[in-house]
Chain A
Amino acid sequence: MTGSLKTAEEEAPEAPDTSGTRAATITDRIYRNPVLGPLGALVILIIAFSILTENFLSVDNTSLILQQSVVVGTLALGQTIIILTGGIDLANGAIMVLSSLVIAQLAMDIGQWPAMFVGLLLCALLGAISGLLVSRLRLPPFIVTLGMLTILQAASRLYTKETLLVDEGPLTFLSKGGYLFGQFQITVGVVVVLLSVAVLHFALTRTSWGRHVYAVGNNDLAAKRTGINVQRVLLSVYVLAGVLYFLAALQAFGRSPATSPNAFPTANLDTITAVVIGGTSLFGGRGTVLGSYLGALIVLVLQSGLTQAGIDPLYQNIVTGVLVIAAVALDSITRRKAR
């Protein structure tokens, strides 16, 4: 008995697994480095549109795409950390819009800096409410944030039905900008969104908090059993997401000094699109904020490129929809392969 076992052991030395086909190794690599997929897609799109259209790669167009990415890009960061814990946030746009209305209104009464402070507290508080409902009462994030979305949309309209304008000041600081390499226009908002991605990427990959976020999304029971305070991690994620939505509100003021209850009606779905295209798994525990920002860029590049190629804007939505489904399919397939 033991003799036969030994031969089996000798016959099967620790050789690397060569059973995988070429296709399997590609999916495997995408699975291990989730940024490669969206990065590749973005590069391919940029090359394709540069060939197909005249103006796509112009400095004007590329700097415009970067500036367009700041609001959804920032919201998508909050969406990403929530999805990483296995949740989803349908209320992110509504939180941003309500806080931008409150900020714009208060700015007229108490000044821009205090108004900003109130807006920050409001966003953190709204994030904390969702976070507490998800972590303490263990309610499904989909339902909690759907409820928040409905409540906050109504609250925004009750608060004001008008379009509010903010004056030039600290609130419009992110719209300031300058030129790089002669012609390339870059705004403070673009710098801030890139910094936000970098800081969050660092926090997720290099700190114990980041590891715990992934662990909770991967297997929350395992996380609890290894002594991680799962409730506190969840709460911290929702509060941080709220803070990011406040930052997104400032980014929105940087893009336009006007805000209204009807602004950004599809921000929640746009951010989920960006996150999914960016390679983050809707099942939680796997993904990157860098990918989500690339996902937001991919959507904008598609829109810009197809517009310049003279294609009906409705086709942009069809292409975006196909991309979302393709990204989720890729995630499911690579997950299954890895099992």
Chain B
Amino acid sequence: MSETVLEARNIVKRYGHVTAINGADFDLRAGEVLAVIGDNGAGKSSLIKVLSGDVIPDSGEVLLDGQQVHFRSPHDAQLAGIETVYQDLAMAPALDIATNLFLGREIKRKGPLGSILRMIDTKEMRKQSRKQMDDLGITTLQSITQPVDSLSGGQRQTVAVARAAAFGRRVVIMDEPTAALGVRESKGVLDLIKRISGSGIPVVLISHDIPAVFEVADRIHIHRLGRRTTVVRPQDHTMNEVVGIMTGALPAPPLKEEVAS
């Protein structure tokens, strides 16, 4: 059994009277694609926000490589190597692709120009951006100097995913990456997800798109009523069964040893 990279134990988060996360567990293994599915309001986004540092839980613990971590902000999680692709993509539309890839992490010029004047090395950033796109096999972008607002939805998603892959040393989390995309563009993003996990970095995929989940996921974390109901493997169940478990129409099968961590 491969090692666990990211783990959460007994997470609780309340907003006033509403309990968004009610003792949820989570585990992610090295090199896998873990899909997280659940009905609207099941609390899966809240759980993901805990993992990406956007929400601070009331109780419970988060462990990265077995070490307990306390993320106070998304920046903390980023420093730990956890990158998140948000549904709204978090991009500055007027700035070009290379600038967006390195936004907040600009490469400085060498010497005093960089350290004192904080001058950025545009050439180097463009070079590395191009390399990153090539490494991920992204061919749909014409030029790295195009402003993001001239891109299609699928291309923007590609840029956001490439950014996460470039800086996500440990984990890449994606929130509904295919929700706004057409069939062909979705396929491109799913291929990217496979390539990232193939390179050894595990991917957490939050999605409502069950066929997409079945296509790329190694395991499926089913979230219901604020906690993890069970984890299944796509080859053990049909899509209908999984949807049934998710909505509560079917009883959740107990966690199998080889599926649980």
Contacts and interface: CB of A to CB of B under 8 A. Distances in A.
B94 A225 contact: no
Interface of B: 74-75, 78, 84, 86, 88-95, 99, 103-106, 108, 117-120, 122, 140, 142, 147, 149-150, 183-184, 187
Interface stretch (A91-99, A113-121, A207-215): A207-215
Contacts of B184: 5, 8-9
B88 A215 contact: no
A22 interface: no
Interface stretch (A138-146, A173-181, A216-224): A216-224
A207 B103 contact: no
Contacts of B94: 214, 218, 285-286
Contacts of A5: 183-184, 187
A208 B120 CA distance: 6
A207 B95 CA distance: 14
A212 B104 contact: yes
A219 B93 contact: yes
Nearest to A218: B92
A60 B150 CA distance: 46
Interface in A286-339: 286, 338-339
Contact of B103 (A8, A14, A206, A215): A215
B142 A221 contact: no
Contacts, number: 77
A30 to B, nearest CB: 14
A226 interface: yes
B95 A338 contact: no
A219 to B, nearest CB: 5
Interface of A is mostly: helix
Contacts of B117: 207
A211 B150 contact: no
A46 B103 CA distance: 40
Interface of A: 5, 8-9, 14, 16, 32, 206-209, 211-212, 214-215, 218-219, 221-228, 285-286, 338-339
A227 B78 contact: yes
A285 B120 contact: no
Contacts of B183: 5
The 7 A-B pairs at the shortest CB distance, nearest first, are namely: A226-B104, A218-B92, A222-B90, A227-B104, A208-B106, A225-B90, A215-B92
Contacts of B104: 212, 215, 223, 226-228
B74 A218 contact: no
Contact of A225 (B86, B140, B150, B187): B86
7 contacts: A208-B108, A209-B118, A214-B95, A215-B104, A218-B92, A224-B74, A227-B78
Contact of A221 (B90, B108, B120, B150): B90
Given A219-B92, A219-B93, A285-B94, A211 B99 contact: yes
Nearest to B79: A227
B105 A226 contact: yes
B87 to A, nearest CB: 11
A250 B103 CA distance: 36
Contacts of A215: 92, 95, 103-104
Nearest to A216: B92
Contact of A218 (B84, B86, B88, B93): B93
A194 to B, nearest CB: 20
Given A214-B92, A219-B90, A226 B142 contact: no
Given A14-B142, A219-B90, A227-B78, A211 B119 contact: no
Contacts of B140: 14
B120 A222 contact: no
A217 to B, nearest CB: 8
A338 B93 CA distance: 10
B199 to A, nearest CB: 22
Contacts of A214: 92, 94-95
A211 B74 contact: no
B90 A226 contact: yes
A226 B149 contact: no
A334 B142 CA distance: 22
Contact of B118 (A9, A16, A207, A224): A207
Contacts of B120: 206-208, 211
Contacts of A222: 88-92, 103
B128 to A, nearest CB: 15
